Amino acid sequence: MHAAPLPIYPVSAIRDLEALAIPGAMPPLMERAGEAAATLALSLLKTPAAVLIACGPGNNGGDGFVMARLLRDAGHAVHIAFAADPERLPADAASAHAAWLAAGGETLPELPPTPPGGWALVVDALFGIGLQRPLEGRYAEWIDSLNTQPCPRLALDIPSGLDADTGRCLGPCFAATHTLSFIALKPGLLTLDGPDQCGLVQVAALGLDPQALLPAPGHSIAPGLFETRLRPRRRNSHKGSHGDVAVIGGAPGMVGAALLAGRAAASLGAGRVLVGLLDPSALSVDPLRPELMFRTATALLEGPLPNALVVGPGLGQSDNAGRCVDQAIGLPVPLLLDADALNLLALSAARQETLARRQHPTLLTPHPAEAARLLACGTTEVQADRLAAARRIARRLQAWVVLKGCGSIVAAPDGAWWINSSGNPAMATAGMGDVLSGLVGTLLAGGWNAGEALLAGVHLHGCAGDHLSATLNIDSGLLADEMSTAARHCFNAWIRPPTMRDTATWDGPAHP
């Protein structure tokens, strides 16, 4: 069995889940949250030690009071900084505060001095998912001070200062080494600034089955989404069984992009890979991948139809490039548009209208700047709400879309969405998008539907990067041309369980 996708809920849906669960819930959800937080804290605290918990004026602070009481009962020296008016706490938080005081605890209006041995753990129980504005004044100063502590730093539900829906730091933001998300994942934990601010994310469902209460609007990407496709090939197969991928691109000075896409397609197992170059004088054979078959872009678009068409790697924005995009949109095959094909699409409302009316699968793979051009807005606006941006493009152009970046967003034309967590900063180099296009193109050519191909290709791309980063022990400088072989290894690890492998050629994880 492969890892299953996890449900993701925006803040509004989390509030709905809480409302559905609270009536008659025993013990109360706050008590469950505090107990889950204490359990995680105890796993980080090997011996009785000094713990600092910063509690805020709402229910997140109440979770912190419950946690503090339980840690104190376990023998730890718990110090609470609490600057709010206890008379204005919500009812459950007020009860948790009173229980802390009744157990012999006390609160301090400011952060206490660091004890001689240092804090063993600091906990952010300030604001959680409800914060909608930048932290200022005392709380901003508290966050800055907590972030300097060299011990584990635990955020309850979400780091204070991080937008739970978008992953955007609203201002000063708690830098957690661990985050315990209550009930379910939120989008902001997984995309944009979220992964940098959250550290290791764990989920405490608090005894609830969120999906039974309210179907999740989004999910994480995991191999369980496309598990039925992960089967060994039939022995009675040949190159024609696995499809032809055609790559259109390679304008003068940018032939390398088309080669990267073609090499990735070949390495993942496309039956044949045909590369149609806009610079026909560049080369007629790839000495590193002589399996690639070269044509002019015009000949490839006018010849026999491939099983899948990838347009954009190194395409440029010439008139000839525009004609290639228009011709490709009109062909009755699955079509993936990337790079300059997206920029050319953004320049023409008529081209967008034609694309939206296609009767065959369309996939778009923009990075934030390309997404901004498609939406006629700024990159900052796209990044401010990556999920909304991806869904707008998918709906407007009736296409499957991946908005690339930290926590890539995949959106379907019908509004469904997913967030990917594989991949790492070493992949922030030129040509990575070309490799992704080639991988997805191969899956399309092999008969995968558009959604499965995009979800699998995005996740596989990140897994290959994670494998290489771990193997090479690097945090930067991963080269795009190194990715194809790693993707082949990861993909075959998904397909072939250990008992089916003749030799131990792959010892890495099947997924991150």
Place of tokens 């090997």: 46
Q: How confident is the model at residue 303 (pLDDT cuts 50, 70, 90)?
A: confident
Q: Does 131 count as an annotated binding residue?
A: yes
Mean pLDDT, rounded, for 211-216: 96
Q: Is 438 annotated as a binding residue?
A: no
Is 63 annotated as a binding-site member? yes
Q: Who's near 129: CB < 8 A, 6+ residues apart?
A: 11, 14, 157, 158, 164, 186
157 is in an annotated binding site: yes
Binding site annotation covers 407?
yes
Task: Please report, for the chain, the start and end positions of each structural domain, with discontinuous segments joined by +.
Answer: 7-220, 240-499
φ, ψ for residue 443 (rounded to 5)? -65, -40
5 is in an annotated binding site: no
Average pLDDT, the chain: 94
CATH of segment(s) 240-499: 3.40.1190.20
The DSSP symbol for 169 reads B
The answer on whether 130 is annotated among ligand-binding residues is yes
The answer to whether 59 is annotated as binding is yes
Instruction: Say whether 133 counts as a known binding-site residue.
Output: yes
Residue 500 pLDDT greater than 70, yes or no: no
User: Is 186 annotated as contributing to ligand binding?
Assistant: no
Is the Cβ–Cβ distance between 40 and 177 less than 8 Å?
no
- Give strand pairing partners of 180: 156, 202
Type of residue at 199 = G
Whether residue 134 is annotated as binding a ligand: the answer is yes
Task: Say if 7-220 and 240-499 have the same CATH topology.
Answer: no
Q: What is the pLDDT of residue 498?
A: 60
Is residue 281 part of an annotated ligand binding site?
Answer: no
367 is in an annotated binding site: yes
- CA dist., res. 101 & res. 99, Å (int): 5
CA distance 428 to 109: 44
Q: Is 139 annotated as a binding residue?
A: yes
Pair of tokens at residue 41: 């804290």
Q: Is 128 a known ligand-binding residue?
A: yes
pLDDT digits (tens, 9 = 90+) for 49-101: 999 999 999 999 999 999 999 999 999 999 999 999 999 999 999 999 999 99
Q: Is 124 among the annotated ligand-binding positions?
A: yes
| d(C-alpha 412, C-alpha 400), whole Å | 5
Known binder of ligand: residue 46? Answer: no
Condensed to tens digits (0 to 9), the pLDDT of residues 14-31 reads 999 999 987 777 899 999
Annotated binding-site residue? 137: no
Q: Is 41 annotated as a binding residue?
A: no
Do the annotations mark residue 129 as ligand-binding? yes
Check whether 492 is labelled as a binding-site residue.
no
The answer to whether 19 is annotated as binding is no
CATH code for residues 7-220: 3.40.50.10260
434 is in an annotated binding site: yes
The Cβ of residue 397 has, within 10 Å, a number of other Cβ atoms equal to 21
